[in-house]
Structure 1
Amino acid sequence: MPVLLAISLSAYAQETKTADTAKTTKIEEVVVTSLGIKRQARSLTYSSQQIGGDELTEVKTPNLLNSINGKVSNVQINKTNGGVGGSVRITMRGDKSTRNSQPLYVIDGVPIVNNTGITGTGGPNVDYFSGMPDTGDVLSTINPEDIESINFLKGASAAALYGSQGSNGAVLIVTKKGVAGRSSISFSSSITFDDVYNLPKLQNSYLQSTPYNAATGATGTYDSWGAKGASKDYVKNFFDTGITRINSLSFQAGNEKTTNFFSLGSTNNTGVIPTSTFDQYNINYRNSSKFLNDKLTLDANVMASLQNSKNRLTPGSYFSPISNLYWLPRGIDFDQFSGDNYTYFNNTRFLPAQNWWAIRPDGGFEDSETQNPYWILNKNPVTTKNKNFYGSASLSYALNSWLTAKLRGNYNYYNSDTQRNIYAFSNNTVSGINGKLSKNTIEKTTTYSDFILAGSPKISDNLSFDFTVGTSISDLKYTITNIENNRLFTANLFTLNNLAWNGEGNGYKIDTPHRQDQSVFASANFGYKRLLYLDLTYRVDWSSTLSKAPKNNFDYYSAGLNSILSDVFKLPEAINFWKVRASYATVGNALDPTSTNPQPIFNGGVITGSYSSAPVDIVNFPQFAYLFPQPEMNKTFEAGTEFRLFNNRLSFDFTYYNSNVSNQYLKNVSTGGSIYGTNLAGIDISAGKIQNTGFESSLSYKVFDSKKFGWTVAVNASANKNKIKEVFPIGFYTGSGDVKPFFLTGGGYNGIKVGGSFGDIYGTAFLRDAQGRIVVTADGVPQLAEDRQTFLGNPNPKFMLGFNNTFNIGKVNINFLIDGKFGGKVLGITQALNDKKGVSQVSADARDNGGVSIANAAYANGTAYTGKTDARAYYDVVGGSGGINEAYMYNATNVRLRQASISYQFSINGKYFKDATLSLIGTNLFFLYNKAPFDPEQVSGVNPGGVGVDILGMPVTRSIGFSVKANF
């Protein structure tokens, strides 16, 4: 007997379906796909995975994407050093691009641009660093309590309708809106306490080799290679207990014609680094209204946020309080320089001056990188102010029973202003005599609009047909200003009017990149008897970044097919649902706004040869046709299956995929000095191919399912193999061993090479003989191999696993998530620096043991070396940023208790007070396995070059606290 089911799923829509109660075992899901189109999950021909809003706020984090780590298969999420409110790097199905592998983000069907600046190389360099921290991203400004759900479209097929922006997949964010016929108020509050753990293992038993003498002003040496002695541990006591408070208040109300949702949110943090703070305030309003007998629907949303942060950790050596803390020569009493003792009043200049052991009587510094950590925090402070405004509107008009017209648009304004004030008496490497002002401002304006006709004409009872045709335009404008000025008229007055704008020490740069894309697109979806589904899409993009290319447009397409085998064949009763699917897509990806006209580099700055009269513009060199700006092209095939078994208690999803992304954009590629009869020395080129192949799977099983006790297990597993198939065109000479470095970290860097993988780390290695033994000098000191671009490893995991458990015991809910990344290698520059300074525990152990034992070593004449090498002599060569990187490669495998919570629900159901939930929560609680002396997942930046290298990064922190939620 048929019954009528009212379905409200994922808060997207309320629909009615007729189902046969004898066969129906699960209400069919309705999900939002590309362009905000609602579809039944059974009809999708590609992989997608959805996370509900409750999962995002179960254990709340300031950046909503951090709450997803380990919950979605084949989605890798990395935190930067920015701390609370910092940026997040996310990749789906591996790195695909030398420019940017992050997916497109879509809010309520309309795309946004998440990055705060122009895609660059990412990450700091330990040998030179401008002193600016991670400033956060647009997603960090969104209140997680405003999110209804997030859907991950991982493949190019799923995101093909979004065009070049969706080449790396798409993350669809659906915000909350009011519910008709119901008014409610919700309040949530959490407080967590953050503490540092897994600090580098440091020694306190060997002192400064030449001691500091406060009476004479002798600084001594900047090392801890001296005599044995006792020294206090100042590192642990330096860090504070961080406190993070997150509060949210929301109101929703509505009737059949209009609904409203309004929320306020705040995040306030005092960090583990003294003086570091972060404050964020959000406001959100969404209205949905119907007019003209419900034919016209208006959906409008406004979100705004303000962020203020101070002293986010700056990786590197110059402005890091951590480096100066780690490297403090042992035996020096840090108490005489800490707290208020970091400064004194200089009677000559009548200014506060730095108090530090490394300052000589003449005012010079013992080392170019050293400063008092408290001076850095108080007299080299860095502040960031971010403002974000987002507004969107959608008009939908039902032209008839099967055809709807939609007009949508959004506007996003983002302003990020970061300033570091460097006071007089700072280390003269980073400051002028009166100080220095460093200021970066990024102003980004994004507009997007589209017009869509969506139809579902009835063809027959057996054949269904949906189509979409539309056009869109997106416009992205940046104004990026950078000031580096150490010529202050008045000391310590950090205003633009106090800067001298002529002469050395004045750095001023302003860029105004601009990109506009115009598109037309269409899709068709066919269904036969609800057993077989076919998807087709086609799109053409015109991009301003291709204005200098012979062709400024590119087209692409996708096709997908699935079959519901459980409705085709009579299967065992245990199988409730079985689907197989396959799809293929070709999707383009236009260039960045800064890459519209690549400029060739000629030796001596002029052209010689047969083209000497041509302007310096690549379009004047037809023989370089492959060098013209071209869009990346992503060709992806995927196939998968879905099962639901045992009355839908067990669900399983598996996908295999293969993607090849060609026309990688490589900057400043060396040609070896001449090519094709010219003296062309370097050029930006569009060439190369990156392949990703792998699988992803997810399993959910309700082990027990009763009112008194429930236990649900969710497992996500994935593996990805990345391979560089091509780099340069055949015959293109690079003069650099076919390696294109794009991120230098002392002696090691990430690079690409045919046959390697994206993110490969190349650097210095031990010199070895024909038998593979380490070659040592007569003193037993290892030697460096001549090749300074030796392959050392790749930081990307070979396998990822998330294991989530949820227990329901009456009104008590217990949840914990174990997250594992297996395989890969990472480079620890921090450990190398600590070893060379003699402050690491490893260096102390070596001294205690009479030297360093080197396994499998030999002299140059082939005689085996079995002795012990003097510890200082060993680490002078092997340690440091310019030492032997091979010695500091670590297994990146790590398994951690990612998050855990215990909650109790109070069901009151009073006139005004409905229910409340009190929870004990924790994130990043501890490692179950980790061999690296740092967190292998933490990255220096969101762009490709910031992965796999630790350079004085943020120590690992855990958070434990409480949260309360109440509904009225």
Structure 2
Amino acid sequence: MNHKSKPMKWLSIGLIALCVSIQLNAQRIVTGVITDTDGVALIGVNVLEQGTSNGTITDLDGKFSLQVAGPNSVLQITYTGLQPISLPVGNDNNFNIEMEEDAQLLGEVVVSALGYETRKDESGSTSSVIGTEQIQRSGEAMVLNSLAAKASNVEILSTNGDPGAGVNFRIRGANTIEGSSNPLIIVDGIPISNSTIYTGGASLTGSRSGGVSQQSRLNDLNPADIESIQVLKGASAASLWGSRAANGVLVITTKNGKSGRPKITYSASLSLDEVSERMPMQNTYGKGRDGVYDERSSRAEAWGDRIADRAGGADDVDQSGEYFEAADGTLYYPLANRNVKNSRETFVDENWNSVFQTGHFLQHDLSISGGTERATFYFSLGRIDQDGIIRGSEYNKTNIRLNNKMIFNDWLSMSTKAGYISSHGNRIQQNSNTSGLLLGLLRTPPDFDQRDYIGTYYNDDGVATPRAHRSYRNLLGSSINPGYTNPLWSLYEQKNTTDVDRFIVSSELNATPNSWLTFTLRGGVDSYSDRRITFFPIGSADSDTRNGAYGEDVVAETEINFDAIARGNFKLADKIGLTATVGWNINDRSRDINESLLQGFLVNSTKITTDLNTASEASSISKTRRLIRSNRGYGVLAFDLFDRLFINVSGATEAVSSVDGNFFYPSIDGAWQFVKSSNKDLLSFGKLRASWGQVGIQPFAHRGQTLPEGGFAYSTYSDGVSINQFGGGFRIDNTGNDPNLRPELKTEWEIGTDLRFFSDKLSLNMTYYQNEIKDMLLFVETSPSSGFEQIYTNAGSMENKGFETEIDYLAVQNNDWNINVFGNFATNENLVTDLKGVTSVDIGAGQSVSSRAVVGEPLGVLWSTSAQRNPDGSYVLNDNGFPIITSSEGIVGDPNPDWRAGLGFAVSWKKLTLSALFDHQQGGDFSFRTLFVLGRFGTTAETAVETMLEQDIVNYDGDIFPAGTLVRGNIYDFGGGPVLRDEAWYRTGPGGGFGDGKIYEFGIYDATNTRLRELSLSYTLDSPWFRNKTKISGITFTATGRNLFLWDNLEGIDPQVNQFGVGNSRGLDYFTNPSTKSVLFSLRITY
């Protein structure tokens, strides 16, 4: 043995021990908790020491513990859907880490028409994404209203400001004439109804031209439950839905739970609502004509005496005979002289305030979500209680939702999403309707106090008539016909309620037997019933309801949808991949409408019961049923070439019960990424895309054959006796149907580009598109010798072309500041190209101004009388210098705008955020018939202008007024010199009122407008100190303004309202209930 080696041995052992000791002293354990921005613990977050395989994941409480090499170590923290974090360890041993959503990743992931997530950068078709933050920021209680101005070429127009009122919703303009322009709505993979159904007569539950507002069914959803909304605009993106997709597709994804401890969120919102635009009214002149007061009911106008010139004091009345006693005991007598009124009191503001109020709604939303790695859930409960700006109008809604997902093993999972909605509303009569609210209110002279609207009428013999209806044309309530309904009678005596119950349930089973193949079974049901009750007591104005009317309608719709889908991923060659999808869809839709009407009460009662008249001839019943069933097979081939070029080829073959035969809908789109993650200082991403596709619109159900009808009038030459009074009967329908119907066919192509600059801080997309719709389904008038008045057939064609762009710029992003600017711009040019030999088709028949489809013109042009013109465009004038009416009607305006744009910003400083959104419409025309008609009645401020004449002047009747005279009227020059527009022009001439001989062109106005759609200020409390002290993840306080300012060329109305409610007509008004502007305060607490 060599003893000299022993010292070296011990020295070596000592050196090794020293090194190990140093290394052990350098290594240490770091711990931490990882949460999302709401403070909710994240389960399964990957925590990896950079440059090594040393790592761990967070537990159920979001905690982790990891031994690292030393202070120079860096932790790489990653989680799907959240921004990755690189965290130097340094000298810290414990970390509180907050992970934020990866906005870039979320922006790249979109949902296809079939409900699958795809990368937007790989798509050749156009779509827009609206996230939950944008929806919540709007403060809107209705889903559709929250989308306004947020996506290019998406038109959102509220029909009026009534609680729950329907919304006109179009993508890329009109795509049909007689059918619905509503896009197809897909919620969690299944189609649901967004129908707006009008039932009853014009003065009952409502036709489009007069009655009450009907709802858009999409607004049944709770905005707080929505994760994202995808707008599929082009035919190629929507073609898999065949003959239901010509209007585009709206894909809605509701929220899911995330693994982790339960996350509880509660929010409360209070909105204060006001009338957005008030009509300027006059309080200078009283009831009557020709400058003389007249209390007779036949004198419906306010062209009477000058109120300031009256004697003053109490009126001289005749107490010897009839009188009216109001509910509070106030007595009303006829004037001693019907043409002499002493009182100078006016009631314009009092009458207005008795009808309108500061409306409000209070909304509560509670959600609980959470789960494990294998099972997650999301539960929510929402409630809104709204009182509208019109007294007596209301809307109450309860939403309950439960979404869950179960992962059974590595290859099988199942998700179910279920929602229940219950709502109640009371609507107010409007529009072309003598029981309409504004029709009665705005025609009322300023010297009539409408507040004592109900009481007891006593005739000359002292006989009492209880529940008498007092109005300005029925001053003592002596007649059962009030002329026009007193607005307060409309509010408090008439009922127009709706009660909706709705279930939406979808379930999806996914099986992945291997890495490249997935099977999906998806089914769902959407079912609702809408019970509508309308009650008009005896004494209401309309001739159909004057003796009392009680209507009850029940609308029920059910849609059952089922899909079986298989998807496979294949590698065809190096850097060439294919995703193939095949599927089969079965869809069944039914609609039942049961209408019952009781007219002519035997008892003057407010009790809503059929006992008010039990005679069979007083009641009528109608039942309508619609059934449509379809089968559709579809497939998609998605090619990935070198991770640069992406081509999608798809097709759907469909058979629908409403037509014979099968129809095929193909599409193709391509995307080429010519710049990808390079040159980040300027262009960081660039894509060119193009697409082509065909989609359709189904015919109305049961229109393939001509059927008999019942309930018709036996004689149209005398009294129109109903055939029902003779035991019933049937005859062939007056409308013939074509047995060879085909779906309308829309063919569309588009090209565009998606660009991102400065490391994706600036994004810009642009698209140009053209489409043509053929075989459009129309009711075409036919010769009486055919045995039909009209026939439903494929008879028209139409085209659209336009440009759209969206921009988003993250101008500043650092620890304290975030500044984001965004906007959109769009044009759409529509043209009706053929109507099968017919010059025009009426799509919105007003009494004096209608909306029409005219060959060679955009859909919906305004059609009425106009002034004759010379070749140079100047007016043809009569001898007094006034325009002459045309001998026939023609186009007087086009409601379609030249372009639309939205522009907004969001500025955040630390926890304080200010955001705004402006909405602009350039061009388009609006028929302001309310103002035009009120000219006859002399109640508007325009008709009460007093002018001191500087020269002799003539009015419409040829009367000459000398200089120096104070006249009621305004000076105007039609091209032949100044003339006086006074009572002769507005009331008896062509410049106001209704009926024949009126130049309705003068009621058409430019609808250009800009509005501050949204203004929001919010502050969030979520600091670590606050969380530790309160155990609350965060509290957000928000103040929001909606439609606070409107800049336009009109006074007294919002040009977005629509007399015809939800439909294809635009730009029409006739005493439409007003829209609203609002201030909303909200509180959101997350635990």
Q: Output one character per residue of 1:783-827: Cα deviation in whole Å (capped at 9) or x when no partner.
A: 321112x11121121111101110001110000011101111011
Change (3 A) 1:127 1:267: closer
Q: Are residues 1:631 and 2:748 paired?
A: no
Deviation at 1:168, TM superposition (A): 1.1
| TM-score normalised by the chain length of structure 1 | 0.88
- Give the distance between the partners of 2:734 and 2:401, measured in 1 at CA: 48
- Give the distance between the partners of 1:617 and 1:350, measured in 2 at CA: 45
Among 837, 851, 855, the residue aligned to 2:937: 837
Among 1079, 1083, 1086, the residue aligned to 1:960: 1079
Letter in 2 for 1:285: L
Among 685, 691, 698, the residue aligned to 2:799: 691
Q: Are residues 1:106 and 2:186 paired?
A: yes
Change (3 A) 1:739 1:27: closer
Q: Are residues 1:463 and 2:576 paired?
A: yes
Match of 1:39 in 2: 118
Letter in 1 for 2:782: T
Q: Are residues 1:310 and 2:426 paired?
A: yes
Change (3 A) 1:409 1:537: same
- Give the distance between the partners of 2:948 and 2:251, measured in 1 at CA: 57
Among 754, 758, 771, the residue aligned to 2:855: 754
Match of 2:347 in 1: 232
Letter in 1 for 2:303: W
Match of 2:1003 in 1: 888
Match of 1:554 in 2: 663
Letter in 1 for 2:886: A
- Give the distance between the partners of 1:533 and 1:563, measured in 2 at CA: 6
Q: Output one character per residue of 1:62-87: Cα deviation in whole Å (capped at 9) or x when no partner.
A: 21121121111110101123622222
- Give the distance between the partners of 1:739 and 1:332, measured in 2 at CA: 44
Q: Are residues 1:88 and 2:200 paired?
A: no
Aligned 8 A contact 1:123 1:943 in 2: no
Match of 1:939 in 2: 1058
Deviation at 1:870, TM superposition (A): 3.8
Aligned 8 A contact 1:358 1:365 in 2: no
1:810-821 to 2 correspondence within 5 Å?
810-821=910-921
Aligned 8 A contact 2:287 2:301 in 1: yes
Secondary structure in 1 matching 2:994: coil
Aligned 8 A contact 2:288 2:295 in 1: no
Q: Are residues 1:589 and 2:700 paired?
A: no
Note the residue ranges of structure 2 that are not aligned, 5 or more in a row.
1-49, 53-75, 84-101, 309-345, 715-730, 950-966
Deviation at 1:232, TM superposition (A): 3.5
Q: Are residues 1:716 and 2:824 paired?
A: yes
Letter in 1 for 2:859: F
Q: Are residues 1:294 and 2:372 paired?
A: no
Note the residue ranges of structure 1 that are not aligned, 5 or more in a row.
12-23, 606-614, 858-863
Among 673, 687, 690, the residue aligned to 1:579: 687
Secondary structure in 2 matching 1:459: strand
Secondary structure in 2 matching 1:35: coil
Change (3 A) 1:403 1:122: farther
Q: 197-206 or 72-81: which moved more?
A: 197-206
Deviation at 1:445, TM superposition (A): 1.1
Q: Are residues 1:390 and 2:504 paired?
A: yes
Change (3 A) 1:599 1:695: farther
Aligned 8 A contact 2:736 2:792 in 1: no
Deviation at 1:564, TM superposition (A): 0.3
Secondary structure in 2 matching 1:34: coil
Match of 1:278 in 2: 395
- Give the distance between the partners of 2:667 and 2:685, measured in 1 at CA: 26
Give 1 or 2 for the bigger CA radius of gyration: 2
Deviation at 1:543, TM superposition (A): 0.8
Deviation at 1:428, TM superposition (A): 5.8
Aligned 8 A contact 2:205 2:212 in 1: no
- Give the distance between the partners of 1:290 and 1:440, measured in 2 at CA: 45
Secondary structure in 2 matching 1:655: strand
Q: Output one character per residue of 1:627-677: Cα deviation in whole Å (capped at 9) or x when no partner.
A: 83210101000111011101111000101100111111111x223555xxx
Aligned 8 A contact 1:852 1:874 in 2: no
Change (3 A) 1:254 1:596: farther
- Give the distance between the partners of 2:820 and 2:406, measured in 1 at CA: 38
Change (3 A) 1:447 1:122: farther
1:85-234 to 2 correspondence within 5 Å?
85-98=164-177, 99-117=179-197, 132-209=211-288, 218-219=296-297, 221-230=299-308, 231-234=346-349
Change (3 A) 1:367 1:715: same
Match of 2:519 in 1: 405
Among 648, 655, 659, the residue aligned to 2:771: 659
Q: Are residues 1:768 and 2:846 paired?
A: no
- Give the distance between the partners of 1:458 and 1:287, measured in 2 at CA: 34
Letter in 2 for 1:51: I
Secondary structure in 2 matching 1:833: helix
Aligned 8 A contact 1:25 1:576 in 2: no
Deviation at 1:461, TM superposition (A): 3.7
Q: Output one character per residue of 1:390-415: Cα deviation in whole Å (capped at 9) or x when no partner.
A: 11111111122111111111111111
Aligned 8 A contact 1:180 1:259 in 2: yes
- Give the distance between the partners of 2:946 and 2:568, measured in 1 at CA: 74
Q: Output one character per residue of 1:469-517: Cα deviation in whole Å (capped at 9) or x when no partner.
A: 11111111111122332133443342235444643x6443210111111
Secondary structure in 2 matching 1:194: strand
Q: 255-264 or 31-40: which moved more?
A: 31-40
Deviation at 1:137, TM superposition (A): 2.4
- Give the distance between the partners of 1:126 and 1:484, measured in 2 at CA: 11
Among 814, 817, 828, the residue aligned to 2:928: 828
Letter in 2 for 1:580: L
Aligned 8 A contact 1:47 1:655 in 2: yes
Letter in 2 for 1:912: K
Secondary structure in 2 matching 1:73: coil
Q: Output one character per residue of 1:75-122: Cα deviation in whole Å (capped at 9) or x when no partner.
A: 01011236222222111111111111111111111111211438x999
Match of 1:610 in 2: none
- Give the distance between the partners of 2:1080 and 2:859, measured in 1 at CA: 39
Secondary structure in 1 matching 2:430: coil
Deviation at 1:131, TM superposition (A): 5.9
- Give the distance between the partners of 1:565 and 1:170, measured in 2 at CA: 29
- Give the distance between the partners of 1:496 and 1:865, measured in 2 at CA: 63
- Give the distance between the partners of 1:689 and 1:441, measured in 2 at CA: 35
Match of 2:727 in 1: none
Letter in 2 for 1:387: D
Secondary structure in 2 matching 1:835: helix
Letter in 2 for 1:467: A
Q: 129-138 or 558-567: which moved more?
A: 129-138
Match of 2:1036 in 1: 917
Match of 1:321 in 2: 437
Aligned 8 A contact 2:1044 2:1078 in 1: yes
Secondary structure in 2 matching 1:57: helix
Change (3 A) 1:255 1:78: same
